[in-house]
Structure 1
Amino acid sequence: MHADTPPRDLLTAMFDAAIEAAQPSHCIPPHLPPAPRGRLIVIGAGKASAAMAQALEQHWPGPLSGLVVTRYGYAVPCQRIEIVEAAHPVPDQAGMDAAQRMLALLEGLRADDTVLCLISGGGSALLALPLPGVTLADKQALNRALLASGATIGEMNCVRRHLSAVKGGRLAAACHPAQVVTLAISDVPGDKLGDIASGPTVADATTCDDALAIVRRYGITLPASLREVLESGRGESVKPGDPRLARAQTTLIATPQMALEAAAAVARAAGVTPYILGDSIEGEAREVGKVMAGMALQAARRGQPFAAPCVLLSGGETTVTVRGSGRGGRNVEFLLSLGIALDGEAGVHALAGDTDGVDGQEDIAGATLSPDTLQRAWSLGLRPRDSLDNNDGHGFFQALGDSVVTGPTLTNVNDFRAVLVL
């Protein structure tokens, strides 16, 4: 590594490069469809949807109109596409109203019209329209229970798809007979289309029974209205082979792997060998932290399987089973567990953050870790293990001045983790 580059600066540069690689301004223009004979209607949902809409407007020569919904604070100016803001990760009335208005926009479409759907992470909560008989309050309570349960993002979205009037292919079905072109930025492990914003424009092979099994697995108590939707099969999603989706196509325009490769290029330029361990790592954040610590220690002490200087890069979406009452998120939970396991190992530094700028429910992307992190914490009277037990990663790293705050990044390709071994 170049001697004059502080480790924290290199880690931050890698994180910035990962975010930049997934910016809609780069990713949208190469994937625009040909102009339709009829109308072009633009719809979308997610933390990147407003920036995607702006990039589309700047590169689309013909007429268009539409509506997209993004997270509060993530709107950017658009001339022809209306931008609505709503709540994430727990849906609110604004998101529900936006979904109703979006369905109204899709009424009366013809076969020569095209619907361009801009989808990114966060759309599951932002585009929330419960099925008849289900209230917004019911969905909000379920979302909170799922977020605290330790369920994977795939499991959470399976449940959401079967209680929604727009997810699980229903939004594309509402566009029939128009062509539907979806441009998606992936924020989910494995880039599974049905899990990005719960798949509003793609067919869904999972069932109401699958959703019920997930609810049982995590001991979540369902209100009677939600249980009726699932047990009756009334919440069944649009299945593969449905003729209403025959003219629907989806293109992934940005993925976690692309972001990790951009970070790897920054490391190489600094004289550090990058190793991408996986773009879809899941599991309890604190357990992933222990495993990454074990790998970093082996590299630092034995030169195996990688020799220093190197950086271990990974993405995906870990989970946190909330047991404490602290301020946390999965990235700071991972980092705190990593730091405890490293126990101040010399030469090992790390950064973990969410590429959307929000780890958990706070506008803090993540944090950095250095060999003196634990020592500085103890000198302030902080007890790292107590902070971890209380799920208080944000409280811990904020007290040390080590939080990473990006503001709205206008994209979302999931978690970014870099463990630097010097």
Structure 2
Amino acid sequence: MSSPDDIRHFLDVLFRTAIKAADPVFCLPPHLPTPSVNGKTVVIGAGKAAAAMASALEQHWGNDVDLSGVVVTRYGHEVPTRKIRVMSASHPVPDAAGIAATREICNAVQNLSADDLVICLISGGGSALLVDPIAPITLDEKQALNRDLLKSGASISEMNCVRRHISQVKGGKLAALCHPATVMMYAISDVPGDDFLDIASGPTNADPTTCGDALAILQHYNINAAPAILTVLRNGIGETIKPGDARLHNVTSHMVATPQMALEAAAKLCADHGIAAHILGDSIEGEARDVAGVMAGIARQVQKYGQPFQAPCILLSGGETTVTIRGTGRGGRNVEFLMALANTLNGQSGIYAIAGDTDGIDGIEEIAGAMITPDTIARARQKNINIKDQLADNNGHGFFEKLGDHIITGPTLTNVNDFRAILVMDPTAL
């Protein structure tokens, strides 16, 4: 990497390599069972990768086996399938199409027997796509709650705890509907720690948390939920399926792709090019600005003192940061991280970075992420753009678009959460 253009190209390839490692075409088939001749096989699923997973399953299953079912994915993430119906809905804020798709999924698993098999395909985004609020909660009230949770700074685990307890299908309830059939759930993880319960809010997994826990989260973040939501939580109407419930005895969960796998694929590419890569963590959480401050400190320590690693090297990390929204700009957690990182580094030589969401959507726009270079702030000044003002307005997408540093992948048809790579060059070579 002898020039800035070479560096930018390599970082872009690194990001796309991480995404490819989680492609359902490659990661799902090795985990699937042998097609059964006993009973029916019904496929259900939800998430940004659900359609791609359904297509990969059909290729594995072949044409001569009875197969049916329904999956729901985000608008624009559909792929052709032969036997499994693909429906689409809104993400991250649910819509009426999501309710319709969820009810079709529930209908598909009615009146099953112990000889039948349900294959459940779950991936990131499923919490918003698999939606059927408990009465008397309305869709409008559910949508408002989702928006408030997304703006609050709550972690994904906290958000999903609330979502589980106002849903008719989350927190093991979907698997309970399938009883007494065998249920095999296959997941592509987009959550820190790869907890099955947090992927699409755990529709096939037992949930030890309670309605009281969900209420406490709303109170902690000062979220004024609708009276109907509070009634469902206070009265325990929304309680989830608990560990030990007999209806979940024939349910198994399998992880087919994780953030760690994506980071390891990127690290291997670095090694193939003779560049040392260090994985700092696959489940880093916290405010995007705070994480950026820590990462900037590590990068500076590497470059100045050779600690804890020698430069040149690449620092890799994954996870899901949060953004407490204070401005009115267009943004997402990855571009927020990058703006804060550039602001902290303040043009320090020899440090480049890329960050993006592996589903191709950072925030709610079809922009995966962006890239920063040592001259990011200088180029912004030339365009009369003040990075501190942009950061205060949460305008990461606007900022990087004006610089031409935003990254657009289109729908990747997978989701293993955020990917971050920071290149720290040897100061003696600058």
CA distances 1:51-109 after superposition (whole Å, capped 9, x unpaired): 00000001103110010000000000001000001000000000000111111111100
- Letter aligned with residue 142 of structure 1: L
1:164 equivalent in structure 2 = 167
Structure 1: unaligned runs, 5 residues or longer: none
The 5 A counterparts of 1:351-362 are 351-362=354-365
Equivalenced residue count is 422
Other structure's SS at 2:193 match: helix
The 5 A counterparts of 1:9-408 are 9-36=9-36, 37-61=38-62, 62-408=65-411
CA distances 1:120-160 after superposition (whole Å, capped 9, x unpaired): 00000011111121111110000000000000000000000
Other structure's SS at 1:351 match: strand
Q: Percent identity?
A: 60
- Letter aligned with residue 268 of structure 1: A
- Determine the C-alpha separation between the residues in 2 that align with 1:329 and 1:4: 25
- Determine the C-alpha separation between the residues in 2 that align with 1:19 and 1:66: 27
- Give the Å deviation of 1:35: 2.7
- Give the Å deviation of 1:282: 0.2
Please report the TM-score for the alignment, with normalisation by the length of structure 1: 0.99
- Determine the C-alpha separation between the residues in 2 that align with 1:135 and 1:54: 33
Please tell me whether the aligned partners of residues 13 and 266 of structure 1 are also in contact (alpha carbons under 8 angstroms): no
Please tell me whether the aligned partners of residues 100 and 129 of structure 1 are also in contact (alpha carbons under 8 angstroms): yes
- Give the Å deviation of 1:40: 0.3
Q: Which runs of at least 4 in structure 1 moved beyond 3 Å after TM superposition?
A: 1-5
- Give the Å deviation of 1:222: 1.2
CA distances 1:15-59 after superposition (whole Å, capped 9, x unpaired): 011000000000111111233310000000000000000000011
- Give the Å deviation of 1:268: 1.2
Other structure's SS at 1:189 match: coil
Cα RMSD for the two superposed structures: 1.0
2:428 equivalent in structure 1 = none
- Determine the C-alpha separation between the residues in 1 that align with 2:68 and 2:129: 20
Please tell me whether the aligned partners of residues 67 and 81 of structure 1 are also in contact (alpha carbons under 8 angstroms): yes
- Give the Å deviation of 1:2: 6.6
Other structure's SS at 2:317 match: strand
- Letter aligned with residue 107 of structure 2: A
Structure 2: unaligned runs, 5 residues or longer: 426-430
Please tell me whether the aligned partners of residues 33 and 181 of structure 1 are also in contact (alpha carbons under 8 angstroms): no
- Determine the C-alpha separation between the residues in 1 that align with 2:228 and 2:3: 62
- Determine the C-alpha separation between the residues in 2 that align with 1:411 and 1:2: 33
Please report the TM-score for the alignment, with normalisation by the length of structure 2: 0.97
Higher deviation after alignment, 116-125 or 301-310: 301-310
- Letter aligned with residue 10 of structure 1: F
- Letter aligned with residue 17 of structure 1: T
- Determine the C-alpha separation between the residues in 2 that align with 1:163 and 1:408: 29
- Letter aligned with residue 237 of structure 1: T
